[in-house]
Amino acid sequence: MALKGLDIFKLTPKTNCKDCGNPTCMAFAMKVAQGTMAIDKCPHMSADALKVLSEATEPPMKLIKIGAGSAEYSLGGETVLFRHDKTFVSKTLYGVNICAGCADRVIPEILKIDYERIGERMYIELINVEYTGDQAAYLETVKKALAAERTFILDVKDEAAAQAALELAKDKKPVLNAADETNYQAMSALAVKYGVTLGVTGKTLDSLHDTLAAIEALGNKNLIIDVGAVSIKDAFAKTVQIRRAALKDGDRGVGYPSIVNVGKLAPDNPDLQVALASLFTVKYGSIVIMGGMSYAQALPLYGLRQNIFTDPQKPMKVEPGIYPLNGADENAICATTVDFALTYFIVSGELERSGVPVNLLISDAGGYSVLTAWAAGKLSAGSITRFIKENGIEVKIKNRNLIIPGKVAVLKGEIEENLPGWRIIVAPNEAVGVVKFLKELKL
């Protein structure tokens, strides 16, 4: 259980100094308890007290690092069950299963899913390399996975094959998903030797809890839980119960991230796999592995993830700039709207559907919707004019027709005054009318 401010104050040296940026130690203790200040900011804290406080104020779910270099990812570190309570810390990572017989076919498909949405690169982060009994074939598959430049998981319970694979891949810091109640000592030793995260599974929650405790007793806390593939019901129950036990009941013994392999839960049903991936994105899967993933499947799945793993108090925004649509060039008509991501995707989608070349100008409106930005002074004739002037729009684009959102038609006259030579056109109030409007527009 996390310590309260008074508990921290009792362990804090009563120096009443300003070394830590606080006039009193009580103020320091309260900030530590609230998570706004690190414990080690107090220069007078003893090593023993620092150790006690560091352990007590860690999140109930341990933060785990996997991968290396630019492909290093964080898992866990969560403090709440629902994003509206605070925010989620580490986003769900997506992986795809490969084996010796399918690697050549699946890896090129994995690499095709790689695009950007609202400033975030969206791609398959992980490759799960499954062991099927042939060590030589498995090692060859690991080599192919290495060439794909993705972080990967070694899904193997054979000790000799696991060690040989780790020798090949040790620099990439993969997850060794290998331990259960029968082999945890040997597999934990391997994971510690190569400095990688160990995946642990169990037939029941009780056996899983006991195995995790036994591995922790060996000194290894760099762990991740594989909820198994007995059934969808079993996997869901374990995933939820593990998270609730850690966050609600304070059971740090199961306070680790989780792997859910929906490819094994629904091996012959790609549509069900996508549905399950969506479910476990919302309900606590730290890594979700699929049997395969097409571009069409990835788009909604990554969109869901982006919505779930963003701060609910901060709106999602697109970068200000010029967005040419339908092959627009310097002679294409201009349109403008706000940088609120939802507005951008609705408007740009309708513009693309019209087939008319349009240069969509996105200015900084604070991430607000059109009317909210207008009411807050973030969208005005002055802001639109400044954006056009400061970004050299008049040099880059020859067309002098600008479509503005219908809901701020009141800005038309002032914009025309600020931009001599420009024709300001008011769009329909709703985006659904944009296609018909553009096709009938006469310039």
Residue 356 CA to residue 60 CA, distance in Å, equals: 53
Query: Which residues pair with residue 74 across a beta bridge?
Result: 65
Inform me whether the pLDDT recorded for 26 exceeds 70: no
pLDDT band of residue 327 (cuts 50, 70, 90) is very high
Q: What angle do CA 416, 417, 421 make, to 5 degrees?
A: 60
Question: Could you give the dihedral angle defined by the CA atoms of residues 393, 397, 401 and 403, in that order, rounded to the nearest 10 degrees?
Answer: -60
In the chain, CATH 3.40.50.11600 covers: 321-440
Predicted model pTM: 0.77
**52-78: per-residue pLDDT in tens?**
666 666 788 999 999 998 889 999 999
pLDDT category at 21 given cuts 50, 70, 90 is very low
Q: How confident is the model at residue 295 (pLDDT cuts 50, 70, 90)?
A: confident
User: Using CA atoms, how far apart are residues 223 and 217, in angstroms rounded to an integer?
Assistant: 13
Architecture in CATH for domain 5-56: Orthogonal Bundle (1.10)
Domain topology for 63-308: TIM Barrel (3.20.20)
As annotated, the residues of the chain forming the CATH 1.10.15.40 domain(s) are 5-56
- For residues 24-30, average pLDDT: 62
pLDDT at 362 over 50: yes
pLDDT bin (cut points 50, 70, 90) of residue 153 is very high
Mean pLDDT value across residues 348-353: 91
pLDDT of residue 38: 66
Q: Above 50 in pLDDT, residue 6?
A: no
Q: How confident is the model at residue 357 (pLDDT cuts 50, 70, 90)?
A: very high
Query: What pLDDT does 52 receive?
Result: 63
Distance CA 3, CA 54 (A): 10
The ranges of the chain annotated as CATH 3.20.20.20 are: 63-308
What is the band of 40 on the pLDDT scale with cuts at 50, 70, 90? low
The answer, yes or no, to whether residue 46 has pLDDT greater than 60, is yes
Mean of pLDDT values over 22-51: 63
With a cut of 80, say whether residue 347 has pLDDT above it.
yes
HEC assignment per residue over the chain: CCCCHHHHHHHCCCCCCCCCCCCCHHHHHHHHHHCCCCHHHCCCCCHHHHHHHHHHCCCCCCEEEECCHHHCEEEECCCCCCCCCCCCCCCCEEEEEECCCCHHHHHHHHHHCEEEECCEEEECCEEEEECCCCHHHHHHHHHHHHHCCCEEEEECCCHHHHHHHHHHHHHHCCEEEEECCCCHHHHHHHHHHHCCEEEECCCCHHHHHHHHHHHHHCCCCCEEEECCCCCHHHHHHHHHHHHHHHHCCCCHHHCCCEEEEHHHHCCCCHHHHHHHHHHHHHCCCCEEEECCCCHHHHHHHHHHHHHHCCCCCCCCECCCEEEEECCCCCCCEEEEECCEHHHHHHHHHHHHHHCCCEEEEECCCCCCCHHHHHHCCCCCHHHHHHHHHHCCHHHHCCCCEEEECHHHHHHHHHHHHHCCCCEEEECCCCHHHHHHHHHHCCC
In this prediction, what percent of the chain has a pLDDT beyond 90? 66
Q: Poorest-confidence range of 14-23, 83-92, 162-171?
A: 14-23
CB 275 within 8 A of CB 266: no
* Dihedral sign computed on CA atoms, order 235, 240, 241, 246: positive
Query: Which residue do the tokens 């993933």 mark?
Result: 293
Q: Is a pLDDT exceeding 60 seen at residue 23?
A: no
pLDDT in tens, 385-414: 999 999 999 999 999 999 999 999 999 999
The model's pLDDT over 236-247, given as tens digits with 9 standing for 90+, comes to: 999 999 999 999
Contacts of 35 (CB under 8 A, 6+ apart): 57
Q: What fold does the segment set 321-440 form as a domain?
A: Rossmann fold (3.40.50)
